[in-house]
Amino acid sequence: MGTLTGKTALVTGSSRGIGRATALRLADEGALVAVHYTSNQEAADDVVRTIEKEGGRAFAVQAELGVPGDVHDLFLGVEQGLKERTGTTDLNILVNNAGVMGGVAPEDTTPELFDRIIAVNAKAPFFIIQRALTIMPDGGRIINISTGLTRTANPQEIAYAMSKGAVEMLALHFAKHLGPRGITINSVAPGITRNDNPVFDMPEVVEQMAQLSVFNRVGEPRDVGDVVALLASDDARWITGAFVDASGGTLVG
Ligand code: NDP
């Protein structure tokens, strides 16, 4: 029996990257997982198929985040999927993972780009948490994916780092609010982690990025997914309001 048998989970942005690895690991531990995506249905369906092949349970949910009605659309699919499979809409674990980066110099950052980054990365997680709390039983788990860039500078990502700094505030303040319900909330900060970005196909760039970690490699999505699964488990019941460095030692300087 896995550590999450009988639990239900929503992982936003789990069609790819860190979210995908997190969904796979939570399902491997026995959770029924809502695999959320925005545009890449094929990728989300592949995650669901992979989980089912391993004997786990999952379903895909589509919703674009950072636009009006986003949270409503997301929970329509989540609640329907949970109800069909469990008979209730109880959601035990929420992972706010979906995010967009900037990759633009500060002088080229437009108000539109800034607003979008804040809307997807900071505003959406707040209102997803607000909505999730209406169906989360006591003892639930909330994990928000931040970034090591809230601790180390990259001038190409100021707006992005600002959005993730805001996300980290969710753990601090909600921890106090949710303590009486036994719900924990924490931030997980990855360092450079392999995803579909073409830079990861360039060995000389990967070698340079690897040097940022004390382990001399770039992170794999699973490195972060495993940390999220730990925080989602009962073993992590005494950790809340925390910033968890999952950067492979990138932040030690
Ligand atoms: P990917 O770029 O590989 O995947 C992004 C996921 O988010 C996809 O599932 C995508 O859905 C979904 N998504 C993106 N925009 C939206 C939107 N507007 N509405 C709904 N869903 C959306 O992500 P990573 O694995 O690289 O990153 C995951 C998280 O980790 C992010 O929060 C990121 O900021 C953070 N992070 C990543 C690092 C890295 O080096 N990779 C380092 C530090 C932090 P679809 O497939 O349908 O497009």
pLDDT digits (tens, 9 = 90+) for 45-63: 999 999 999 999 999 999 9
Counting residues of the chain whose pLDDT is more than 70, the rounded percentage is 100
**Does residue 223 carry a pLDDT above 90?**
yes
Q: How far apart are CA 13 and CA 106, in angstroms?
A: 26
Residues pairing with 184 in the sheet: 141
**Does residue 220 carry a pLDDT above 90?**
yes
pLDDT band per the 50, 70, 90 thresholds, residue 208: very high
Q: What is the pLDDT of residue 150?
A: 98
Q: How far apart are CA 209 and CA 193, in angstroms?
A: 10
Q: State the average pLDDT over residues 29-38.
A: 98
Q: What is the pLDDT of residue 36?
A: 98
Please indicate whether residue 40, judged by its CB atom, sits closer than 6 Å to ligand 1. Answer: yes
Residue nearest to atom 46 of ligand 1 (CA): 40
Q: State the average pLDDT over residues 119-129.
A: 98
What is the chain's mean pLDDT, rounded? 98
Q: What is the pLDDT of residue 162?
A: 98
Determine which helix (DSSP H) or strand (DSSP E) holds 233, and give its type and residue range: none
Q: How far apart are CA 44 and CA 51, in angstroms?
A: 11
Q: Hey, which residues are catalytic here? A: 160
Q: What is the pLDDT of residue 127?
A: 98
pLDDT band per the 50, 70, 90 thresholds, residue 253: confident
Residue-wise pLDDT tens digits, 174-186? 999 999 999 999 9
Q: What is the pLDDT of residue 1?
A: 84
ipTM of the complex: 0.98
Substitution candidate for ligand 1 out of 20, 96, 100 with most atoms within 8 A of CB: 100
Buried-state track 46-82, b at ≥16 Cβ within 10 A, e below 16: bbbebbeeeebebbbbbbebbeeebbebbbebbbebb
Please indicate whether residue 99, judged by its CB atom, sits closer than 6 Å to ligand 1. Answer: yes
Domain over 8-252 is classified CATH 3.65.10.10: no
pTM of the model as a whole: 0.98
Residue-wise pLDDT tens digits, 228-243? 999 999 999 999 999 9
Residue nearest to atom 21 of ligand 1 (CA): 38
**Does residue 112 carry a pLDDT above 90?**
yes
Q: Give the residue extent of every domain in the chain.
A: 8-252
Q: State the average pLDDT over residues 171-196.
A: 98
Please indicate whether residue 163, judged by its CB atom, sits closer than 6 Å to ligand 1. Answer: no
Across the chain, the runs of DSSP E, i.e. the strands, are: 8-11, 32-37, 57-62, 93-96, 141-145, 184-190, 243-246
